[in-house]
Amino acid sequence: MDHLDDGDLDENQLQACFLLHQGAPRASKCGSQSPRRKAGKKENTSDVKPENDSAGLPSVLGEPPSYGLLRWQAFNAVWGRIQKLVEDIVEGEYHETFVAVQQWICNRQFSDAQLSVYHSARLVSNGSIDPCLAASWPVDSASWGKQLHTALVFLGGINPSDHWRTFNALALHLKAHNCHVAHLTSVDFLFKAGVSGPVRSLFRQLINIDPETTDMEILAAWHKEAENQGLPIAIIIEGPESCDAKILSEFLVLLSEWIAELPLVLIMGMSTAEDAIRRLLPASTLARLHLWRFTLTEPRKLLELIIRAILIESFCAFELSHEVALFLCFYFEGHDHSVTSVMRSLKIACVEHFWKEPMSFLCNSLLTANSKENLEEQCAGLPDVLLSHVNSFPSLKGNPVLGGIDTLSSERMASSLWQLRPQKRMWGIVFQCLSALGKYAGFSFWDMLCAVLQWVTKRSTAHDTDEKLGPLEKVVSRLRDMTGSSLRSTLEEWQKATVYDKELNAEVSQILLEMSNSTPGEANRLAATSLPVKSQSLDGGGVKTDASHSLKPCVLSRSALRRIGQQRTPGISQVGEVTVNKRAEDLLRRVLREHLKPPESRPFHEIFCFKDVHVLKQALAGETRRKVHMDLLNSQKALKCDCCPADGDLSSSLHDTTLAYILSQEYGDLVRVHNWYQAFAATCDPKVQVAGDAEQGDSLTPRKGRSRKSMDLPLDGEGSVKKKRGRPRKSLDTCLENGTEEKQPEVLVENRVQEENAAIQARFTRAATELQIVGLVQMPKKGNSETVRRICI
């Protein structure tokens, strides 16, 4: 982070910093954007950095080097767990549809075979054709007007990043069940290549050859071979909406011409509604398809399952702070429903955490430890460096129990960490209870989750305002006016959810029992269900009785008051229900306050909790090119260095990329590479500048292609750029006018400069390439090799 401030922009130093990713996110807000983006990207994509495999993560804070390896292992363990969790859920959800598709292919083949037998039998039995003639007839006369069986797999949403994964899984599944599978994407259906594009891809995938011609006879010949005989060929077209409609329709017609000879089956993944197929294909093509509907789990529901599993139900020894969780929820809701984005964001969070937090290696022990003692052992062996790091945790500062260095003991830490598992479980249980209630109130999982997270976040910032439940108030208050039956089913769901917590379970059962006592008709049934649970819970929880006793008086008094208030409503059951409603509500309120605590409120949470929303936000929501553009142009402002002249003139101390980009602003759409380079060299090296000036003739006629003004530039930025036009432009203009000299720069420059020139050329090339990677400049095209196209923003 310091590199930005010290003003010494040594190249190597910058590079090292970016690779290590040490830049603090807050400081870099104003920093140069492009290299940081690259660093971020690298992290997103790389699964395992090979050099880290053995050495572990680079050490932080001077920790012993072996701890880098430990953190690396911890990351692998935790991330592996999360990944497996997500993949299992996705696989489980899709499995049913995959099996259905595979079964369908089987059935189609079978029924087609039956039909053809039926038809040929009819031909012969009709007597109008003699059998020997019938035999010589092509069999396909039985399959007249046959349609191509087409499975429309409705994906329920536009998540191109997920679709590829889904269809790959489907292809694997079908391959495992004796199908030939070809997986075509919209890239195969380009107008340029015509219908031979998809056919060629088909051959490549099925036959594994790259044929000269794309004659379907090749496929037929291949399929006749012994080992392929009889196996159906499934052709998966992913994203037909984005294919070229004409080519797609031609291809489908072509396939449908061959169904007599080849057992072809088509699978199309539709990301929009069924109407799309009608818009996409002409009626004549559509008439050749027999469409079948398959539906995959909706992406939203899938996401819900994943989020529920990760945030609520499972224990991964890695927590997201509520702020982060809330951000992720909004992000998924607002932008991207895809599983890929979930995986990506979780991975980024994971990587960031294990990268930066030296104590994070404990997560692994937390995940694997069987007992508290195990953990204690781990904590006891901490080196001093890490101990002092632990002491600097902000979570301990506010906590009087665990004060300074002297009182800190490894047991405390271990017990605090050990508590995480049950706490997480409780939080899962409470949330389940809440969402069971939310279901009756008509709130979706997402609404509930967001509300809970918001409430919890608010609560953690403003202390002791516990009385109000914020957005949850609305949900909880529903309990008050619930009718008997829905209350009962809610309570029953609570009972199911709280099986793992005896104390809570007993209380719920108690309420249920009371309720059934008040309505005698169903008393027997309920007693039968709740009693065993209760008796089981009683022997375990000695504390439980105390809790319920301490609760009872206040409950009774309140319910008594209520009863007095509702004298007018007759009937015992009514009164009984009111009590039960109230009791349930009180229970929920108490439990909510007790257990819905954010993980970041616990001591030592720095070890397992990822809190840095900012990093995640930056990694997920990439800035547009505009931001890069602005940062490159206004780098002086951000750096506040002394080396640059205050008047905004260009100086040689500017970063090469920045310099090159600022210089390219002088041009219109097209930048002549040579002129650009000249200007660059002139600024970098005054000697060249001198040479350029000497060359320079006289007039400065304004160029035709005067630079386009960038529209989004704020005024101050614009000004600074404008001012910069001074010397460099002169040399540019000269180069433009003296067309002959510019072809041979080496003639202009003296010999001794030539060597330095090579270095400058290299720097220039790198700068230009970086600009190209960022997407601000397009490299020269075939026809016009002298210019690059500047992308105007």
Q: Which of residues 609-668 bind another protein (CB under 8 A)?
A: 620-624
The SS3 call for residue 291 is strand
Q: What are the Cα distances from residue 61, in Å, to 58, 209, 215?
A: 10, 56, 65
Cβ neighbours for 503, distance < 8 A, ≥ 6 positions apart? 537, 541, 543, 544, 547
Interface with another protein, residue 356, by CB under 8 A: no
Q: Scanning residues 719 to 758, which ones bind another protein (CB under 8 A)?
A: none
State how far Cα 450 lies from the chain centre: 18
Give the CA-trace dihedral at 687, 689, 692, 696, to 10 degrees: -130
Instruction: Based on the shown chain and the rule CB under 8 A, indicate whether residue 779 belongs to the binding site for another protein.
Output: no
Shortest gap between Cβ of 181 and another protein (angstroms)?
18
Tokens coding 219: 């496929």
Give the footprint of another protein on residues 578-597 (CB under 8 A). none
CB of 499 vs another protein, minimal distance in Å: 30
Angle at 618 between CA 616 and CA 624, to 5 degrees: 150
For 606: left if phi > 0, alpha if psi spans -120 to 50, otherwise beta; the answer is: alpha
Query: Whole-number minimum distance, CB 418 to another protein, in Å?
Result: 34
- Compute the residue count for the chain: 793
Q: Is 694 in the site for another protein (CB under 8 A)?
A: no
40-59 positions binding another protein, by CB under 8 A: none
Shortest distance, CB of residue 331 to another protein, whole angstroms?
8
Find the shortest distance in angstroms from Cβ 9 to another protein. Answer: 27
Interface pick for another protein out of 21, 164, 222, 514 (rule CB under 8 A): 222
Q: Which of 2, 5, 11, 217 binds another protein (CB under 8 A)?
A: 217
Is 193 a binding residue for another protein by CB under 8 A? The answer is no
The answer to the question of residue 469 lying near another protein (CB under 8 A) is: no
Which residue, 246 or 723, is less far from another protein as judged by CB? 246
The contact mask relative to another protein for 279-298 (x = CB under 8 A, - = no) is: xx--xx-xx-xxxxxx---x
Concatenating the DSSP letter of every residue in 660-715 gives HHHHHTTS-SEEEHHHHHHHHHHHH-HHHHHHHHHH--S--PPPSSPPPPPTT--H
Residue 100 makes contact with another protein by CB under 8 A: yes
Taking the complex as a whole, the smallest distance from the CB of residue 303 to another protein amounts, in Å, to 10
The DSSP letter of residue 500 is G
Q: Which stretch binds another protein (CB under 8 A): 345-353, 403-411, 445-453, 528-536?
A: 445-453
Say if CB 604 and CB 417 are below 8 A apart.
Answer: yes
Q: How far, in Å, CA of 450 to CA of 432, rounded?
A: 14
154 contacts another protein (rule: CB under 8 A): yes
Whether the CA torsion 103, 108, 113, 115 is positive or negative: it is positive
Q: Which of 203, 237, 235 is nearest to 220 (CA)?
A: 203
Residue 158 beta carbon to another protein: minimum distance, rounded to whole angstroms: 5
- Which one of residues 362, 451, 587, 777 is an interface residue with another protein (CB under 8 A)? 451
Nearest CA among 493, 517, 591 for reference residue 551: 591
Does 225 bind another protein (CB under 8 A)? Our answer is: yes
- For position 96 contacting another protein by CB under 8 A, the verdict is no
Residue 147 lies near another protein (rule: CB under 8 A): yes
Closest distance of CB 278 from another protein, Å: 6
Task: Give the residue, chosen from 474, 552, 590, 781, that forms a contact with another protein under the rule CB under 8 A.
Answer: 474
267 binds another protein (CB under 8 A): no
Q: Cα–Cα distances in Å, from 13 out to 37, 443, 489, 685, 766?
A: 17, 53, 65, 22, 17
From candidates 93, 304, 313, 447, binder to another protein by CB under 8 A: 447
In the complex with another protein, the residue whose CB is nearer, 183 or 763, is 183
Which region among 26-34, 110-118, 554-562, 728-736 touches another protein (by CB under 8 A)?
A: 110-118
Other CB atoms within 10 A of residue 727 CB: 16
Residue with smaller CB distance to another protein, 42 or 84:
42
Alpha helices in 21-64 (DSSP H): 33-45, 50-55
Using the contact rule CB under 8 A, the part of the chain among 114-122, 509-517, 533-541, 550-558 near another protein is 114-122
Would you count residue 304 as binding another protein (CB under 8 A)? no
- Tokens representing 687 are 């000697």
By CB under 8 A, tell whether 17 contacts another protein: no
For another protein, give the closer residue by CB, 44 or 242.
242
> What SS3 state is found at 678?
helix
Closer to another protein by Cβ: residue 73 or 272: 272
Q: How many residues bind another protein (CB under 8 A)?
A: 109
Token pair recorded at residue 380:
């006891």
- Minimum CB separation of residue 339 from another protein in Å reads 13
Contact criterion met (CB below 8 Å) for 351 and 315? no
Task: Among 104, 315, 393, 440, indicate the residue that binds another protein (CB under 8 A).
Answer: 104
155-174: contacts with another protein (CB under 8 A): 155-160
Q: Which residue has the tokens 């917590």?
A: 501
For another protein, which is the closer residue by CB, 450 or 760?
450
CB closer to another protein out of 52 and 460: 460
Residue 184 binds another protein, judged by CB under 8 A:
no
Q: Is 449 exposed, middle or buried (0-12, 13-18, 19+ CB in 10 A)?
A: buried
Helix (H, G, I), strand (E, B) or coil at 634: coil
Q: Which runs of E-coded beta strand occur in 433-581?
A: none
Nearer to another protein, 704 or 743 (CB): 704
Rg (CA), the chain: 35
Q: CB-hemisphere CA count at 13 Å for 262? A: 24
Burial grade of 416 (CB within 10 A; 0-12, 13-18, 19 or more): buried
